[in-house]
Amino acid sequence: EKVSKQPFSGPRSVVAVMEAHMATIEAQNAFLKMLEEPPGATVMVLVTERADLLLPTIISRCSEIRFDPLPDGVTARYLEDFLSVESGEAERIAALAAGNLQRAARLLDERFLGIRRDAASMVELVIEGKARRLPAEAQSAAHDYSREETADLLDEMIAIMRGFMRGEETGISPGAASEARSRDIPADIRKISAASRNLRRNVDVELTLTQLLLDLAGRWY
């Protein structure tokens, strides 16, 4: 209804859909109809850092505009000026946020910090080849986290992997990080992305995590 309204001033109105990748497949299919026949005076903007989780039919109807990650200094100043974070802590969080203001803000939340720590722990176990511990880790995460939080955990695993590629602080041991940078990180990111898509299709959480972690461990060793 809001999309169909005429703009209050100016020739067009702009509707921004934040975190578009979080929409279910059903919601994306419903949204597709709007993209196919958009109201004449409305510009639709889908904001996402995970375009791989959007339906190909949606991507084909959009023009892609990429934005580089923000410098750590900009993120740290945002945390200090708008969220009253002390300078030293702001710099630490900015390094982990990898240029993403939303992730930086979420890293102030204890629940999300727990998800981040678990993601780092899983990645480290995979790198170190401790495959026997991975099913228990998957079971624990499936018990502790909702489906949405598990998707956040996978997103954080991807952020850690990308951090390896850029030589950034990732929160895992220096030895494991050094070992990781010699591996085929893009292939592992694709595996995690596929698991994330399965979660959004309501595939069993524990099964998805277990298969992913064992598959990654097999890929590393």
**pLDDT at 169 (0 to 100):** 77
Residue 5 lies in a domain: no
In sequence order, the β-bridge partners of residue 219 are: none
**pLDDT at 145 (0 to 100):** 95
Residues 190 and 161 in one domain: yes
**pLDDT at 104 (0 to 100):** 92
**What confidence tens digit (pLDDT) does each residue in 80-92 have?**
999 999 999 999 8
Residues 32 and 75 in one domain: no
Residues 31 and 80 in one domain: no
**What confidence tens digit (pLDDT) does each residue in 105-135 have?**
988 999 998 999 999 999 999 999 899 999 9
**pLDDT at 214 (0 to 100):** 94
Residues 77 and 128 in one domain: no
* More confident site: 41 or 221: 41
Structural domain boundaries enclosing 17 = 13-59
Residues 98 and 139 in one domain: no
Q: Two tokens at 178?
A: 């050094």
Residue 3 has pLDDT above 70, yes or no: no
Residue 62 has pLDDT above 60, yes or no: yes
Residues 22 and 116 in one domain: no
With tokens 């630490």, the residue in question is: 92
Q: Two tokens at 75?
A: 């993120």
**What confidence tens digit (pLDDT) does each residue in 11-39 have?**
778 888 988 988 888 889 988 888 888 77
Residues 117 and 210 in one domain: yes
Residues 49 and 76 in one domain: no
